[in-house]
């Protein structure tokens, strides 16, 4: 009896070891690796960028590409039934580089560095808050309401920094003229990410479900607008989303007080 009990206790461990030896799912982790590469490529270009060589634009676009890939890997894993705990942890590490370190370095290299210590402190606040947010997200993943994020999602915060830098660099602006914006904005985005402000996740939208024809027409219009002026349209979308959480929370608070 004791031998059977010991065998039953060891059985889950044996199953887990067999699963580890079996390997990892290739497709979603390839996409996650591509997002990690895009984040690293952004860091490399931001470190070498000057107002004259155009690498700030390359660094900003790389973060946007990482955001697109980050949105794909999870959906591909669900569609192909290849979710795994390894994929979840790998995705978080990739996010830390692509949406934590990369936008912080981009912000610092483009403008925040001209404010001295305040610049690197603001950049560090951003990085630290992304790390804290990712840790909180992983811990609360099972119990959290899937319809909402607690705090601003790190890809959205990184996207705002990237699209702002892309817009200004594309327009020939010099980062030293925008220190007054970048230092508080970088720190504030970090604060929003670790806040308890709820943001809509849009995860309840099912890509396989039927939608009215007008919805498809609206998507075409959005694509057309983005193609006309990608950095500024993306910046507008990022600003609207970043403000949506506090605005919606404020409206609910006012409605509750009036009631």
Q: What is the 3-state secondary structure (H, E, C) of 147-216?
A: CEEECCCHHHHHHHHHHHHHHHHHCCCCHHHHHHHHHHHHHHHHHHHCCCCEEECCCCCCCCCCCCHHHH
Of 1.20.120.1760, 3.90.1150.10, 1.10.490.10, 1.10.620.20, the CATH number of 24-258 is: 1.20.120.1760
pLDDT in tens, 85-117: 888 899 999 999 999 999 999 999 999 999 999
- What is the predicted pLDDT for the residue at 202? 77
Which residue from 101, 82, 66, 103 is spatially nearest to 29, judged by alpha carbons? Answer: 82
Which residue from 60, 75, 225, 91 is spatially nearest to 158, judged by alpha carbons? Answer: 60
Which residue from 48, 194, 60, 67 is spatially nearest to 127, judged by alpha carbons? Answer: 194
- What is the phi/psi pair of residue 202, to 5°? 60, 20
Place of tokens 């910046």: 235
CB 86 within 8 A of CB 68: no
| Mean pLDDT, residues 188-204 taken together | 89
Q: What's the pLDDT band for 210 if we cut at 50, 70, 90?
A: low
- What is the predicted pLDDT for the residue at 259? 58
Q: What percent of the chain has pLDDT over 70?
A: 86
pTM: 0.86
Q: Where are the domains of the chain?
A: 24-258
């Amino acid at each position: 009896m004791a031998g059977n009990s010991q065998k039953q206790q060891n059985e889950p461990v044996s199953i887990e070891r067999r699963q580890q030896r079996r390997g990892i799912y290739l497709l979603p982790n390839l996409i996650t690796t591509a997002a990690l590469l895009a984040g690293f490529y952004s860091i490399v270009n931001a470190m070498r960028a000057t107002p004259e060589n155009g690498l700030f634009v390359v660094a900003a676009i790389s973060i946007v590409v990482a955001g697109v890939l980050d949105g794909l890997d999870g959906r591909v894993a669900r569609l192909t039934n290849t979710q795994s705990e390894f994929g979840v942890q790998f995705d978080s590490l990739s996010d830390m580089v692509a949406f934590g370190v990369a936008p912080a370095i981009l912000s610092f290299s483009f403008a925040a560095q001209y404010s001295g210590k305040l610049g690197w402190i603001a950049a560090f606040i951003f990085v630290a808050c992304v790390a804290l947010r990712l840790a909180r997200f992983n811990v609360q993943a099972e119990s959290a309401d899937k319809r909402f994020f607690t705090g601003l999602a790190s890809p959205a915060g990184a996207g705002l920094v990237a699209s702002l830098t892309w817009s200004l660099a594309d327009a020939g602006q010099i980062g030293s003229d925008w220190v007054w914006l970048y230092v508080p904005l970088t720190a504030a985005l970090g604060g929003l990410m670790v806040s308890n402000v709820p943001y809509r996740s849009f995860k309840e939208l099912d890509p396989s479900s039927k939608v009215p024809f007008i919805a498809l027409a609206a998507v075409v219009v959005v694509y057309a607008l983005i193609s006309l002026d990608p950095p500024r349209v993306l910046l507008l979308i990022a600003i609207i989303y970043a403000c949506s959480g506090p605005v919606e929370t404020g409206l609910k608070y006012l409605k509750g007080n009036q009631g």
